[in-house]
Structure 1
Amino acid sequence: MSKDQSAEMMSRPLPKGWSWVPLGQYVENHDGRRVPISRSERESRQGAFPYYGASGVIDTIDGFTHEGEFVLIGEDGANLLTRSKPLAFLTRGKVWVNNHAHVLRCKPGFSNAYLAYYINSINLSAYVTGTAQPKLSQSMMNKIPIPVAPPEQQTEIVAEIEKQFSRLDEAVANLQRVKANLKRYKASVLKAAVEGRLVETKGEWRMSTLGDEGSIAGGLTKNQKRNDLPLKLPYLRVANVYANELRLDDIEYIGVAEKELEKLLVQKGDLLVVEGNGSPDQIGRVALWNDAIPNCVHQNHLIKIRFGDGVLSEWALVWMLSPVGRRAIEQVSVSTSGLHTLSVGKVSRLPIGVPSLEEQFRIVAEVDRQLSVLRGMVTAVDANLQRSKSLRQSILTNAFFSPSPIEGSTA
């Protein structure tokens, strides 16, 4: 909310019995009891009490700074402007709050939940200072105008918001279940594909390895010397390769020697495999290079596979994405200090079933057909999940700023 918007808002007629009140006159401030605890200390003090920061619960701890019902409002951080998460939180019971959240309690007779919902319904940018590190100081926070309804109407507004949120939460939970089922269906399609059950197949499949069916190569190592090389080419990094997905919005350039080009250039149809990741379910992420960027090379944390005439790259991709392929990748990766890693040698030894080329074409076509339908369904679910976020904000806004707020009449 800009300052002009704030003035415009306060000029709106309120329902009878309502009034605009600066937040500082509406609450008791309990910031004085906040205590920050470093992450290293919290690791040795894990307990049953939630530890709050600017964006909600970030840990647990063995003690508490506040007991009762409070409204916490983030004091600093990008979320003050981006609002990717709620800014105000209602807490009950015993909690620990660090110095990145203001701790407030409404004066007797008024609803803490009403205040929390109202803060989450508005844009506070007019009260935020700083750009590199946005901050909502206590003095600026105290100026925020609150449309204070009579206590009984506050209770009714909170009850209506929570009723609508409950319905919305149920709908979101259903959408999440649908999305989980679609994920399982995708895995079942891929599993059926590599087990020869997705389309009718004839003859025995031969078992082979990726190294026997194609050439496996590592990529370039980034170092200072490359800055002096005159030839600069776009290069692919781990951040560009996901499971059956290329994210090419952020591409960097690097110096490359002419003699390296034969090894490092990626060609359409190459598979790119992520070498290492701290999470076992992310190790071996694989995507098919589509030649979207000409003359592209790859870093050493991406392993490149280029197949010969006997195996379609698209078939190998299906195999590696399937539960069978994923299990094989996770089994050969090793963990060193929590990092799961692959190597050119390990990727070369990964097994692959090889049907005839004609069957590979048919299986890949059927997988593409079914996954295309699936992607459309996932897109629709994601759109509805995104819409639910807008609906949540609309519920809050309408609760306070609809032409006829709950049980209110314009004076």
Structure 2
Amino acid sequence: VHVQPLTNGPALIVGRKGTVGAVHFSTEPCWPIDTVYFSEGEQGQNLRYFKYLLDSLNLVQLDKSTAIPGLSRDDYNALNVRIAPPVEQERIVAEVEKQFSRLDEAVANLKRVKANLKRYKAAVLKAAVEGRLVPTEAELARCDGRDVEPVIPPAATIPALPSGWEWAALPRLGELNRGKSKHRPRDDIQLYGGPYPFIQTGDVRRSDGTICDFSQTYSEVGLRQSRLWPAGTLCITIAANIAETGILRTPACFPDSIVGFLSDNATTTRFIEFFIRTSREKLERFAPATAQKNINLAVLRNVLVPLPPLGEQHRIVAEVDRHLSIVREVESEVDANLKRAETLRQAVLARAFAPTGTTGAGQSEQAVAPA
């Protein structure tokens, strides 16, 4: 156990193994480990200046390793840089931090926008499955002077629905079964590399409603011990990440950690996907308190879906798609601006350390040399 810290005050820490080139400025005495370089600098030098200088050098590009990322001392010390006088260092640091403060504020605002978009998306889906997003069939019928065939009310313990809606169990609306796969592709090389997509829980989680991407495929051998579900199948995860959902864009296989729902009506499938998304927290309550939460097929078979008439489903799905399309456009713009902010951060550093002065190359290595 080291009682005394290795540094007496502020120090620069540079990743040597693993997080190659990552630069950290410590304001307090610290205990750097052997996977980093560190320097306390020289008297009269501004360590924050050297922190930003190292950031501008993008040291990760010096990594030549093939397994564990590493930063060689020889490569590190071979860099030639120009060092500003101490007074100029203070001015540069002040300007860099002023610009970074503005960028940090902008990034924080963009992240708040992303969080608000996530909440808005959830609110749209909740309104959709509760009959609050578009006029119901009953409301339209009343406006047109038409009669609507009444739906038999459910038991008193089940929440009431908008007029014309009914509760329906998933098996009544289509096929509901677990995926079939005795082996994962990684378990048997013969299963690899065929034309049949093999969807995993991570693929469903990343899908945002429609499963387009996958990282594994089955061969004919793999297909024989699995099942090819058609495009339009709703995938629902029941292990690790409960009730993540996505609809297959192409025929695919998937394991028994995913349940497939197959309906003759694509609109009904989309509506059910919306509903499952809004019910994740409730479905997680059925998972036993174990390290990896799982639910079983029986839980999903007992799920009651609040189902509107088909015409209303069409309108709901169209309206949800309209809202989510707007959300995706805004999210894309936010992500582009976040990338732009990082580019601007690098541009600030590049401009701050543009070669405008003249100092010896050795001075830079001495100032930030590893201890």
Shared fold per TM-score greater than 0.5: yes
Match among 84, 105, 119 for residue 170 of structure 1 = 105
Deviations for 1:103-147, whole angstroms, at most 9, x for unmatched residues? 111111111111111111113367544332332233432333231
Matched, 1:102 2:37: yes
- 1:215 partnered with 2:175: yes
The answer to whether the aligner puts 1:312 opposite 2:268 as a matched pair is yes
Structure 2 residue aligned with 1:117: 52
1:90 Cα deviation from its structure 2 partner? 0.6
Which range moved further: 380-389 or 264-273? 264-273
Identity of aligned residues (%): 31
RMSD: 2.9
- CA distance in structure 2 between the partners assigned to 1:251 and 1:228 by the alignment: 10
Report if the CA contact (8 A) 1:67-1:92 is conserved. no
Deviates more, 1:369-378 or 1:213-222: 213-222
Q: Write 1 or 2 for the structure with the bigger share of strand.
A: 1
For structure 2, list consecutive stretches of 5 or more residues without a partner in the other structure. Answer: 139-162, 359-371
3-state SS of paired residue (1:335): coil
Partners of 1:274 and 1:302 within 8 A in 2: yes
Check conservation: 1:213, 1:311, Cα contact below 8 A.
no
Letter matched to residue 45 of structure 2: F
Judged with a 3 Å threshold, the aligned counterparts in structure 2 of structure 1 residues 192 and 71 are, in CA distance, closer, same or farther, namely same
Amino acid at match of 1:335: A
Write out per-residue CA displacement over residues 38-78 of structure 1, whole angstroms, 9 at most, x where no aligned residue: xxxxxxxxxxxxxxxxxxxxxxxx9955441000111023x
Q: For each residue in 1:217-272, what CA deviation from the matched residue of structure 2 results, as whole angstroms up to 9, or x when unmatched? A: 112121667938999743211232124242525232252465x66xx221122111
State the one-letter code of the partner of 1:164: Q
Structure 1 counterpart of 2:287: 333
Q: How many Å separate the matches in 1 of 2:323 and 2:132?
A: 14
Superimposed CA distance per residue, residues 345-400 of structure 1 (whole angstroms, 9 cap, x where no aligned partner): 22222221111111111111100011111111111111101111111111111101
Q: Is the Cα contact below 8 Å between 2:192 and 2:216 reproduced in 1? A: no
Residue 288 (structure 1) aligned with residue 247 (structure 2): yes
Rate the CA distance shift 1:154–1:357 in 2: closer, same or farther, 3 A. same
Give the C-alpha shift of residue 287 in structure 1: 0.3
Q: What one-letter code is carried by the residue in structure 1 that aligns with 2:183?
A: K
Q: Deviations over 1:257-307 (max 9, x none)?
A: 65x66xx22112211112211xxxx4221001112xx4x211222211112
Which amino acid in structure 1 is aligned with residue 248 of structure 2? W
Q: Which runs of 5+ in 1 are unaligned?
A: 1-33, 36-61, 81-85, 406-411
- Single out whichever of 207-216 and 151-160 deviates more from structure 2: 207-216
Deviations 1:331-357 (A, max 9, x none): 2233312x1112222222222111111
Structure-1 separation of matches of 2:74 and 2:173 = 68
Q: Identify the match of residue 304 of structure 2 among 351, 354, 362.
A: 351
Residue 70 in 1 paired to residue 23 in 2? no
Q: Which of residues 231, 237, 257 in structure 2 aligns to 1:301?
A: 257
- What is the alpha-carbon distance in structure 1 between the residues aligned to residue 64 and residue 339 of structure 2? 29
Provide the secondary structure at the position in 1 that maps to 2:289.
Answer: strand
CA–CA distance in structure 2, aligned partners of residues 131 and 310 of structure 1: 48
Hey, what does 1:43 align to over in structure 2? none
Aligned partner (choices 183, 192, 200) of residue 135 of structure 2 = 200
Distance 2:109 2:190 in 1: 52
SS across alignment from 1:300: coil
| Residue 133 to residue 228, structure 1, CA distance change in 2 (3 Å) | closer
- Alignment partner, residue 93 of structure 1: 28
The 3-state SS of whatever aligns with 1:297 is coil
More relative contact order in 1 or in 2 (CA 8 Å, sep 6+)?
2
Q: Residue 342 of structure 1 is aligned with which of 282, 291, 295?
A: 295
Distance in 2 (CA, whole Å) between partners of 1:274 and 1:63 is: 51
